[in-house]
Structure 1
Amino acid sequence: MLNLSVLLENSARRFPNKTAFVFGDTALSFAQINGAANQVANGLKSKGIQPGDKVALSCFNLPYFPIIYFGILKAGAVVVPLSVLLKKDEIVYHLGDSEAKAYFCFVGTPDLPMGQLGHQAFSEASTCEHFFLIMPQPTDAPSIPGVATLGSLMAGQSPVAESYATGAEDTAIIIYTSGTTGRPKGAELTHSNLLQNAILSADLVGIRPEDTLLIVLPLFHIFAMTVLMNAGLYRAATSVLLPRFDAEAVFGLMAKHKVTVFAGVPTMYWGLLNYREEKFDYPGIAAQLRIAVSGGASLPVQVLKDFEARFNVPIIEGYGMSEGSPVVTFNHPDRPRKPGSIGTPVWGVEVKLIDDKGQTVPVGEKGQLLYRGHNVMKGYYRKPAATAESLKDGWLHSGDVAIEDADGYFYIVDRTKDMIIRGGFNVYPREVEEVMIQHPAISMVAVIGVPDDEYGEEIKACVVLKDGVSASPEEIIEWTKERIAGYKYPRVVELLAALPMSATGKILKKELRK
């Protein structure tokens, strides 16, 4: 047997009184988190939730997230984490597609009424039998009359429970891919997938019990869930929770809690780099910060260099995806780090690059990245055709284009779906973005392909300028033209105040293409 809840249970046994999670002025110990998760498990069992049943969860980065997450797992059920930004119809789809029997949903805020939307969606989801509203305080009355709350489910339940003996290959979570093309698909990850990835993540980042992690990446996303929450629990580190990214709030928490480990997506590093208020002791924050991790998207080398120059802390890049639990490659601590590289395969995982004919490409040539190992999902839930397309002979086809250098380090060039074909030439947006971000006036850039009668696709750059600096589209085009091959530079530049972002901080190129 193997149940992922062993991560929490083992630390609760070894360090019962140590602080596991901090949110605002609240600090909860490992024993408190474990006891509350047991109450959730007992509550779910009392409602008839059986091992293997799916239970959905929409929640910000609050202590309720790990409590409910591990409560579901302890009951032998499957966690279906949902983005907090989903609209009603999207929630209906996810509840139906995953066949969720129960749904925990945080009440939300006035500008993000998650509870209201969640309850409306629950009412339209025919397979979902139970709805639990998560209120700010467990004793709060529900904001929707007559609805059960997390507090009412836990009330009177024992804080002692024996976790269900799931098998290592049983599904632990169904995590939905972002769905850049078509409807999102639910990747089935096993207890073994997630446990092994948490252990190797803890080793790669070097997490220790004395570490303090700052979790601002959303916990419903596999990156924060595995590399921070689960790896932190495995090593009995303390995690500070922040529901949404704000540079000032991040620096404030780093200073207050002496944060040693930070993980973010590139837009977060960009946000921290551009925050210049003299409110904090930045040398003091930098002295405490031991390591920073970047993933989720490619970090522009210029941003990495500027961040490291300012804070004197290494940013370690890795590569992963939901289907890979998520970590596939990483810049290993015992090997030289190459800025701009996603490193080498993690323990137990093989990586290769292939061409359109399925042949392995020579070193230095572009190819689609494939991987296999203990991290690969079981498949997409109830989608055998999509699974067969992605998983062939045990190899997961990532859809990402990469290059391998002579030392075995990999570099992501771009998504195959993002590649622009201009007049028969392949143009990878990342390559153009890496050049453009070096322009002295450019703060952020996203390159996309737009339909063109003559060339099939034309190259367009959506640009955010640095505060107080000006540059015209014509100037930017001319500057880029001098530094990149003639078929690669953008013919169209649009200046924007901001770029659209997903809940995980990724730039939404599909929104820019509308």
Structure 2
Amino acid sequence: MTNAAAPVWNHAASTPDRIALRGEEGEEWTYGRLRERAAAVAGRLGEQGVGPGDRVLLVAPSVPEFAFAYYGILAAGAIAVTANTMAPHRELAYIAGDAEVSLVLGWHAITPAPKQAADELSLPYWELRPGLAETGPAEACAILDAHPREDDDTAALLYTSGTTGRPKGSQLTHGNLNACAAVFCDVHAITGDDCAVTGLPLFHVFGQACVMATTMRAGGSLTLLERFHPSTMLAMIRRDHPTFIAGVPTMWNALLRTADDTGADFTGLRLASSGGASLPVEVMRAFEERFGCTIVEGYGLTETTGAATCHLAGRPAKPGHVGRALPGCAVSVRDDDGHELPPGQVGEVHIKGPIVMKGYWNRPDATAEALRDGWLRTGDLGATDDDGDLRIVDRKKDLVIRGGYNVYPREVEEVLYEHPDIVEAAVIGVPDEFYGEEVAAVIAVRPGARLDVSELRAWAKERLSAYKVPHLVAVVDELPKGATGKILKRAIDPALLKADAGTAEAAEPARRDRAAAPPGTPRTSDGTHA
């Protein structure tokens, strides 16, 4: 019966002067101050009538104040619904409406989208400012202790898009968050003496559960970058001398391109945790050589609290693999009939353990489809070897992973179909050296229409988060289809989408009849995982 905010309260009681959080500008927040601000948030939520089980939408970047608000929500017994800071107001309004939130919290420096979403739904809105002084002095309304919660009580709702239907809220429980933090403290030997630096978004499961919750459980310190930039992250590494850092492959690639040869600045760095997408072997090797630390790759989903497998200490990492099941977890590769397959055979990856979500919010059918006898069906195809190490082969669905962010083509396609000049649309992922995959769209327009690609991107950006907007666009007369009229993405000629993302133009008329590749031509994919 432990609230996931309890570690903050415990460390504030035992070591109140230990540094918990650092910001880019050098501001430091002790565990004592973190608890004070979180307690004030929890108290004010109570004054507003927000109680155990109520949902609160939190839209904020990776700043210390995110942690103040997040742990305040959890301490009040409420449920934190965290959303992307790049989401336009209609995405936020959908999430807020679906989760039936009681209140919206939005960081002052981001777009007006959170306020617009709150206004649309007639919900109260708090603008969060540095230090969260607007929550009032701690002694005025603060709670004394985090509200007791059961392991199976929902702590956070993180929305994931689907290839069909609208985004679904993954219910992560207090037990899930505590289990995730405990297992990573164990396998990575994280203690109160460790310092972490990350540019990951805290609204995402990787930053929120695998990094922040783990560091807070250990009693370590966490330096947050509001927005990742390689030069800024390198400066934070030099300033704060972290023992471990966390990010996605595009971040490691960017650091390699930016860093000089002053390796002495990174002598205390022992571990880099990588997830969100498949890590190229050459990037791993170059990073370890340059920075002198080990990159530990893992695999997980929002539905598994970001955790499932990991390369374990003392065992050499196998290129192309994502490690074996974390302690207390199990991985099973199964065929379409649910039978477990032997090592080497490819099937759907299933995961079981204390990190598996409670279910999808108000989606009993989707929950029943995803969770069977305690096992989560991931939708990813993989294979284990004789040692139990997992290799992700491909995906059952057409998920695109751009720089560690999941982009579901169906969601983007539905928006594109709202454009008055678009009559057909197919969104796919194409390999990209920097992002891993880039979002690409092949579209057909109504007769006589002229579509400016730059204007299309601007139009789409008003309706989609920036990372979901197609950066490669080809215009064709007609998309290839099967006998039933279904668009055949595998028959799209990848050559149509090889233009540079910054200069992509609509396909020239002479090439518009080349959308269909010869029969049997596969769609390009780098096979990265969620």
TM-score range, shorter chain: 0.7 to 0.9
Structure 1 counterpart of 2:437: 446
Determine which of 389, 394, 418 is the counterpart of 1:414.
394
Worse-superposed segment, 327-336 or 50-59 = 327-336
1:321 aligns with 2:298: no
Distance change (3 Å), C-alpha of 1:309 and 1:119? same
Question: Is 2:344 the counterpart of 1:364?
Answer: yes
Could you list the runs of 5+ residues in structure 1 that have no partner in the other structure?
140-150, 421-428, 466-485, 494-505, 510-514
Instruction: Give the aligned partner of residue 385 of structure 1.
Output: 365
Q: How many residues align?
A: 440
TM-score by length of 1: 0.79
Q: Residues 463, 318 of structure 1: CA spacing in aligned structure 2 closer, same or farther, 3 A cutoff?
A: farther
Q: In the superposition, relative to structure 1, how do residues 287 and 365 fare at CA in structure 2: closer, same or farther (>3 Å)?
A: same
The letter for the 1-side match of 2:238 is A
Find the counterpart in structure 2 of residue 263 from structure 1. 246
* 1:389, distance to aligned residue in structure 2 (A): 1.2
Deviation at 1:92, TM superposition (A): 0.6
Structure 2 Cα separation of the partners of residues 229 and 379 of structure 1: 23
Alignment pair present for 1:338 and 2:318: yes
- Paired with 1:409 and 1:310, the residues of 2 have a C-alpha distance of 27
Please give the per-residue CA displacement for 1:421-455, whole angstroms capped at 9, x wherever unaligned: xxxxxxxx99x96xxx8xxxx66653889764698
Cα distance in 1 for partners of 2:529, 2:332 equals 28
Q: Deviations over 1:288-345 (max 9, x none)?
A: 2110011011112222122222222211011111111121111111433223211010
RMSD: 3.0
Shift of 1:274: 1.8
Distance 1:180 1:245, change over 3 A: farther
Q: For 2:99 and 2:230, how far apart are their aligned partners in 1?
A: 35
Q: Gaps (5+ residues) in structure 2?
A: 401-427, 443-478, 483-487, 501-518
Pick the aligned partner of 1:220 from 203, 228, 245: 203
Q: What is residue 80 of structure 2 aligned with on the other side? A: 79
> Equivalent residue for 1:6?
6
| Whole-Å separation in 2 of the counterparts to 1:181 and 1:319 | 23
Paired-residue identity, %: 34
2:417 maps to which residue?
none
Measured in 2, the distance between the counterparts of 1:419 and 1:487 equals 21
SS for the counterpart of 1:91 is helix
SS at match of 1:100: coil
* Residue of structure 1 in register with 2:420 after alignment: none
1:236-263 C-alpha deviation (Å, 9 max, x unpaired): 1111110111000010100011121111
Indicate how the Cα distance of structure 1 residues 57 and 67 shifts in structure 2: closer, same or farther if over 3 A, else same: same
Q: Distance in 2 between matches of 1:205 and 1:399?
A: 28
SS at match of 2:10: helix
Query: Which residue does 1:32 correspond to in 2?
Result: 33
Residues 449/131 of structure 1: CA separation in 2 closer, same or farther (3 Å cut): closer
Equivalent residue, structure 1, for 2:485: none
- Residue 131 (structure 1) aligned to one of 110, 125, 129: 125
Q: Which residue of 2 aligns with 1:457?
A: 491
CA distance in 1 between counterparts of 2:211 and 2:314 reads: 20
**Match for residue 151 of structure 2 among 135, 144, 168:** 168
CA–CA distance in structure 1, aligned partners of residues 187 and 348 of structure 2: 25
Provide the rounded CA distance (Å) in 2 between the counterparts of 1:221 and 1:393.
27
Instruction: Say if 2:104 is the partner of 1:103.
Output: yes
The answer to whether the 8 A contact 1:201-1:226 is kept is no
CA distance in 2, matches of 1:508, 1:337: 17
Partner of 2:48: 47
Matched, 1:119 2:115: yes
Does the 8 Å contact 1:444/1:463 carry over to 2? no
Measure how far apart 1:215 and its partner are: 2.1
Classify the secondary structure of the residue corresponding to 2:130.
coil
Residue 302 to residue 283, structure 1, CA distance change in 2 (3 Å): same
CA shift for structure 1 position 156: 5.8
Q: Which residue of 2 aligns with 1:303?
A: 283
Give the SS at the match of 2:157: strand
Q: Distance in 1 between matches of 2:285 and 2:162?
A: 32
Give the TM-score normalised by structure 2.
Answer: 0.77
Checking the alignment, whether the CA contact within 8 Å between 1:445 and 1:464 is kept in structure 2 is no
